[in-house]
Amino acid sequence: MSGVPAAIVRPRERIIAAARELFHRHGIRGVGVDTIADAAGTNKMTLYRHFESKDELILAYVRTVAAEGETMWQEIARDHPGDSQAQLDDWLMRAAECVSADGRGCDLANVAVELTEDNHPARKLIEQLKIHHRDRLAALCRAAGVVQSEALADTLTLLLEGARVCRVTAGRKGPSAEFIHTARTVIESFEKKPKAKRKDTTHKGIEQRRTIA
């Protein structure tokens, strides 16, 4: 909403935008609804008119992050139509940007850590989103000709999640700085198809010669 006068943007969108910025910087538990309402240029009554509770606002925040992730996948497919290898390379570059661009880590992971209730709607949604992302990555690896596509998707998912946490804990110059190199090494190791076993035809050949003789 940058560059758009606040008066033109609807209150609901302003509230979600303000919540996202504040949740990203301070965490979902570190920000109250009063602060969000003030940042959105509205009041608490208006906030509760659009969201019955803070938990509903957290859920809307997660859905907003998820929508951006969906846009990313669509852009990857659009920019490299029919070229699965190029799409995988594009995913890798975008993943690297996520690791290096911001020291706050993954928004979805941060929310999941703060939500201790297993049955919280936002936590359940995050679980679904993470699994869906991993499954799409596995499908992309498979389309790119990787033999063990499921295992590679698991490995890359763990590597990305770990790198984003490491960026928070160890800083920009920590191990996360080697994310692209490490990921490419992993991908190359999975792309190597096992060599076909050489058939031992010696004994068979001798038997054939004996038969002919």
* Better-scored residue on pLDDT, 28 or 117: 28
Q: Is residue 40 over pLDDT 50?
A: yes
Q: Where are the domains of the chain?
A: 1-52, 54-191
* Better-scored residue on pLDDT, 155 or 201: 155
Over range 1-18, report the average pLDDT. 74
* % pLDDT > 90, the chain: 80
**pTM: predicted TM-score of the whole model, two decimal places:** 0.83
Mean pLDDT value across the chain = 89
The mean-pLDDT minimum among 48-52, 201-205, 208-212 falls in: 208-212
* Nearest alpha carbon to residue 95 among 84, 106, 86, 81: 106
pLDDT at 118: 85
How does pLDDT run across 115-173, given as a tens digit for each residue? 988 899 999 999 999 999 999 999 999 999 999 999 999 999 999 999 999 999 999 99
Q: Is residue 196 over pLDDT 50?
A: yes
Query: DSSP per residue over 153-207, as a string?
Result: HHHHHHHHHHHHHHHHHH-TTSGGGGHHHHHHHHHHHHH-PPPPPPP--HHHHHH
DSSP E strand boundaries for the chain: none
Over range 195-213, report the average pLDDT. 50
| 54 close to 34: Cβ distance less than 8 angstroms | no
DSSP state, residue 151? H
The mean-pLDDT minimum among 48-57, 117-126, 185-194 falls in: 185-194
Distance, CA of 51 to CA of 127 (rounded, Å): 22
* Better-scored residue on pLDDT, 64 or 5: 64
pLDDT at 102: 80
The mean-pLDDT minimum among 30-39, 62-71, 192-201, 202-211 falls in: 202-211
> What's at 13, amino acid-wise?
E
CATH number of 1-52: 1.10.10.60
pLDDT at 1: 46
Confidence of residue 7 (pLDDT cuts 50, 70, 90): low
* Better-scored residue on pLDDT, 65 or 204: 65
Confidence of residue 101 (pLDDT cuts 50, 70, 90): confident
CATH number of 54-191: 1.10.357.10
